[in-house]
Amino acid sequence: MVTENLTPRGRFAPSPSGRMHLGNIFTALMSWLSVKSRGGKWVLRIEDLDPQRSKLEHARMIEDDLLWLGLEWDEGGLDDIGTAAPYSQSLRGDIYEEYLKRLETTGFLYPCRCRRADILATQAPHRSDGRVVYAGTCRPVRLGGCTADSAVADGAALRLFVPDMDILFTDRLYGSQRANLAEECGDFIVRRADGAWAYQFAVVVDDALMGITEVVRGNDLLLSTAQQIYLCGLLGFPVPDYAHLPLVCNAQGQRLSKRDSAMGMGELRQRYTPSELLGKLAFMAGLSADGSSVSLPQLLRLFRWPEAKDTLEIC
């Protein structure tokens, strides 16, 4: 239906590996404001693909913290509200299987037995940014001979070939972006040797099936966006709009982590009321001149994207 296509649909997709911090809640707020200021829908997806790090109690806490601030979701969450259920990635394995079959038909998948140490050993010495580029060690001379099932039976990971070409997209904050995946990351994993689904693959399938039209997240995922756009093309999915946000840093200029308890939601909820915290977040976003208390309805009227800086300092 035409009207449905016009409704903006955003999502917040936290990994329940700990309590949210100021940076996570900033992302949630910007994503919520962006779709809600245009009458859209907001989906909460629990990204619990990593069984070691994901905990149900963290997911419950994330929901509690969002609701405390007034950020209600229209679909998703642990109660699986909506037609695209389940909304927890750990329960979506059958769906990923189905779309892996579609990816298989491209002939671009191949089994990979490299261990992390092997991959690191092939890295060019100048790559000091920590980013790993796969050198193609396991890539067959001729692609197309691999089925996903045979790779699993062999205990191999599944890797996806990437061509030497630029992926272009426009980010709402940072403008025109260009990434050559062959140079930036090389062929990448879609399913690990232990059967776990890779983030890039699961996110693309989920965003498409959940009808997401706008992805809002930290600018540390700009390269992932190029990988995801490539996957969308192979799977025949529409490409959503993207808005990447400056990363929130502490006073020492370091990116916040879930271990920074001073900026965790536990402490913040003790120090501030919801409207006081919204005031701080609005100040960080450039929506308020003085950081004083503000309500969500007020912010809906004021909403615009923050300036495209690399990082935002906590006030």
Residue ranges binding ligand GLU (CB under 6 A): 13-15, 47, 203, 217, 221
Residue among 197 and 283 whose Cβ is closer to ligand GLU? 197
Provide the minimum distance between the beta carbon of 16 and ligand GLU in the complex, in angstroms, as a whole number. 9
Rounded Cα distance, 13 and 2, in Å:
26
Residue among 9 and 283 whose Cβ is closer to ligand GLU? 9
Residue among 23 and 111 whose Cβ is closer to ligand GLU? 23
Residue among 159 and 217 whose Cβ is closer to ligand GLU? 217
Degrees (nearest 5) of the Cα angle 28, 32, 38?
Answer: 160
Rounded Cα distance, 255 and 163, in Å:
32
Q: Name the E strands within 207-275.
A: 214-218, 241-245, 247-249
Provide the minimum distance between the beta carbon of 58 and ligand GLU in the complex, in angstroms, as a whole number. 11
Residue among 203 and 247 whose Cβ is closer to ligand GLU? 203
Provide the minimum distance between the beta carbon of 14 and ligand GLU in the complex, in angstroms, as a whole number. 5
Provide the minimum distance between the beta carbon of 158 and ligand GLU in the complex, in angstroms, as a whole number. 20
Rounded Cα distance, 312 and 307, in Å:
9
Rounded Cα distance, 283 and 280, in Å:
5
CB 203, CB 242: distance < 8 Å: no
Burial of residue 232 (CB within 10 Å: 0-12, 13-18, 19+) is middle
Provide the minimum distance between the beta carbon of 89 and ligand GLU in the complex, in angstroms, as a whole number. 9
